[in-house]
Amino acid sequence: MAAFGTAAGRPLQGRGGSAGFRFALYATLAVVVMYLDQRQHYLEWVRYVLQATAYPVQLAVNSPPAAWAWIRQTFENRERLQAENARLRAGQRDLELRSLGYEALARENAELRGLRAALPPIAERWLAAEIVNIQLSSLRQRLLINRGAVNGVFKAQAVLDARGLIGQTTHVGPWSAEVILITDPEHAVPVRIERTGLRTIAVGAADATSLALPYLPANADIKSGDLLVTSGLGGVFPQGYPVARVTVVHRDAVQPLAHVRAEPLAHIDTDSEVMLVWFHADHPAAPTRAGDSLGELKSGNRSMQPQAAPPRPQAAAPEPPAAAPQPAPPRPQSAVPRKRPAEPQPAEPEAAAPQPQPDAAQPAAPQPEAAQPAVPQPDAASQSKEDQ
Amino acid sequence: MNAPGRGRILFTALMALVLTALPLPPWLDVLRPAFLVLAVLYWSVNAPRTGDIALGFFAGLMLDVFQGPVLGQHALALTLVTYIAVREHQRIRSKPAFQQALIVFGALAVYEFVLFAIDGWSGHPVTSPLRWVHTVTGALIWPLVAAILAHGSRGRA
């Protein structure tokens, strides 16, 4: 270090003024950038560009594991491939048989719900994305995937694997996208307990492998082994996709809320590939596109904002306040769409069914209407009119 | 030739960024020092003319893209740390390695505290005490980092 001694003799009057001046300059710049990113969301394009510049580095970091995987795949022997092929064939036959039954069921279900024609499947398009094997942040549950805006990926898109929900995209670059996992403490999924239909919110717990259900009262009907599926509220995830299985239910006599933990069904830590899903926007079970209905919202918690609840065809006229947007208190904004509602609305009738007389079931509760905005009714035309 | 070239500084910063993003098992990841912060610190102490506050700012911005919930968070923290290092570079440089490591520990603590404060302010709090571990490991590994970076520049000169 003594070798640098001579350079230190001269005063540091370099380019752009003194160190203090330059510090003030850059610190102000950083604060302005932070403010714009946090409060105004003006900096999406800056992030986009920066993400593009970062991607080569990320790919370089990813290359040794990727090369190793490629080598292993190349030298995999014939028997193993044949065995795998046979296994996959059997699995596919199994799935085909099951899907036969599923189609009949779906049709029956559609008829029962009074829809005129059988519905198309809700997922319009799938895109497989590989997980770029880099460490984004040890403190947060994030992933980087190798698909971005050029593939049509958009912000707050649902990410699944073959077993269940993984998360949603938070920052989309041109060739890559950052995914926030459902196990991140900042993430919350609106879920429904499949056995009872009870709705609640599953938030990421502190550890990487479990979800917490903090808003269930101690007397809620939930037990270990219950399956949690997405409820379709919140505007990101469609209804009915498996999320997690309840592992721990602890009721304390003095606590008003039950302590419930659930384990995600998706194998988040072993997956190397995930699925990005596009949904039919006019499908009854599809989520409202957050970008469409919330475009005008620049601040506040997105999930707490009125999410342009499409009025039910019959309900709109007799009960106008029900469809009116619920004013939400502005909260410290997060760049990640947190979907915690103001208060959980546990007991609520099934949302997706277009009920002719929905008011009879919930006479004294105006909030449920505003709190379940994400399930568009089949009347897509009236929805778009409402948005404009 | 004492002041190392700009390309050299950028190269080491890039390597440090790669080390920061390298996937590691969780327990090792907690121990991982903030390599990029260490590299920037080294250059702002030993080449304050080239490794400037601008280096801190842009390195921080890159870290933000990798792991920041808010753009500008790491940039502000690293700008502050770089400023302190550039201001005090003569005093820091003349200290023996042990005392340098102590100073680095202090700088890393300041850095992490700024991140912690901004995390809380922006509504992404991470309260786990594990986030502070890297300040200790960073200070411990400082003599090694300094030796590696110094060796390279001497060999070149």
Tens of pLDDT along A177-229?
A: 989 889 888 889 999 888 888 899 999 886 778 899 988 888 888 889 999 98
Residue A235 and residue A151 share a domain = yes
Given a contact cutoff of 8 angstroms between Cβ atoms, the answer to whether B34 and B132 are in contact is: no
Interface of B with A in 89-108 (CB under 8 A): 89-90, 93
**DSSP codes joined into one string, A60-78:** HHHHHHHHHHHHHHHT--H
Query: Looking at the structure, do residues A165 and A248 belong to the same domain, yes or no?
Result: yes
A99: its two tokens: 């899907």
Question: Residue A278 domain-assigned?
Answer: yes
A65 with B23: Cβ contact below 8 A: yes
Reported as a pLDDT band with limits 50, 70 and 90, residue A353 is very low
A176 and A42 in one domain? no
Q: Do A4 and B47 touch (CB under 8 A)?
A: yes
How large is the average pLDDT for residues A77-97? 86
pLDDT value, residue B111: 92
In a domain, A157, yes or no: yes
Residue A84 pLDDT grade (very low, low, confident, very high; cuts 50, 70, 90): confident
Q: Please determine, for the modelled complex, whether the ipTM score is greater than 0.90.
A: no
Higher pLDDT: B19 or A134? It is: B19
The pLDDT score that the predictor gives to residue B38 is: 92
- Which CATH number covers residue A218? 2.40.10.340
Size (chain B), residues: 157
Residues A136 and A209 in one domain: yes
Q: Do A139 and B131 touch (CB under 8 A)?
A: yes
Does residue A299 carry a pLDDT above 90? no
- Identify the H or E element spanning A159: strand A158-160
Q: Which amino acid is at B52?
A: D
Mean pLDDT of chain B: 84
Lowest mean pLDDT segment, chosen from A101-110, A194-203, B66-75, B122-131 = A101-110
Quick one: A200 exposed, middle or buried, by C-beta within 10 A (0-12, 13-18, 19+)?
buried
More confident residue, A376 or B106: B106
Q: What is the pLDDT of residues A157-187, one digit of tens each?
A: 888 888 888 899 988 888 889 898 898 888 8
Distance from B142 to chain A by nearest Cα, in Å? 13
Tell me how close the Cα of A337 comes to any Cα of chain B, in angstroms.
11
In the CATH scheme, what architecture does the domain B6-156 have? Orthogonal Bundle (1.10)
Region class of B3: left (phi > 0), else alpha (psi between -120 and 50), else beta:
beta
What's the structural domain count of chain A? 2
Contact, A177 vs A153, CB < 8 A?
yes
Return the percentage of chain B with pLDDT > 70, whole number: 93
Q: How close B141 gets to chain A, by Cα (Å)?
A: 17
Q: How confident is the model at residue A285 (pLDDT cuts 50, 70, 90)?
A: low
Is A139–B70 a contact, with Cβ atoms under 8 angstroms apart? no
Mean pLDDT of A341-347: 41
A126 with A47, same domain: the answer is no
Mean pLDDT (whole number) for B125-130? 78
Q: Which residue of B has its CA nearest to A39?
A: B122
pLDDT score of A74: 80
Final residue of a domain: which of A56, A73, A90?
A: A73
Q: Which domain does A212 fall in, by range? A: 120-293+337-349
Residue B143, amino acid: P
**pLDDT higher than 80, residue B91:** yes
pLDDT in tens, A49-73: 888 888 888 888 888 877 887 888 7
Per the model's pLDDT, the better-predicted residue between A204 and A293 turns out to be A204
pLDDT value for A65: 76
What residue in B sits closest to A178 (Cα-Cα)? B66
Q: Which residues of A touch B48 (CB under 8 A)?
A: 8, 12, 19
Q: Quick one: A142 and A234 in the same domain? A: yes
Rounded-to-integer distance, Cα B155 and Cα B55, Å: 23
Alpha-carbon radius of gyration of chain B: 15
* Whether residue A266 has pLDDT greater than 60: yes
Half-sphere exposure of B100 (CA within 13 A, CB side): 23
Query: Is residue A142 domain-shared with residue A50, that is, in the same domain?
Result: no
A386's tokens: 């409402």
Partner-chain contact B17 A134, CB within 8 Å: no
Q: Are A164 and A242 in contact (CB under 8 A)?
A: yes
Neighbours of A278 (CB within 10 A): 16
What angle do the packed helices B73-87 and B53-67 form, to 10 degrees?
Answer: 150
The enclosing H or E element of A243 equals strand A242-250
Question: CB–CB of A34 and B52 under 8 A?
Answer: no
The verdict on A174 and A245 lying in the same domain is: yes
CA–chain centroid gap for A276, Å, is 11
Question: What's the mean pLDDT in B58-67?
Answer: 86
Strand partners, A130: A273
Residue B8 distance to chain A (closest CA, Å): 16
Q: Count of CB contacts below 8 A, A vs B?
A: 160
Residues of chain B with Cβ-Cβ distance to A47 below 8 Å are 65, 71
Residues from chain B that touch A32, judged by Cβ atoms under 8 A, are 72
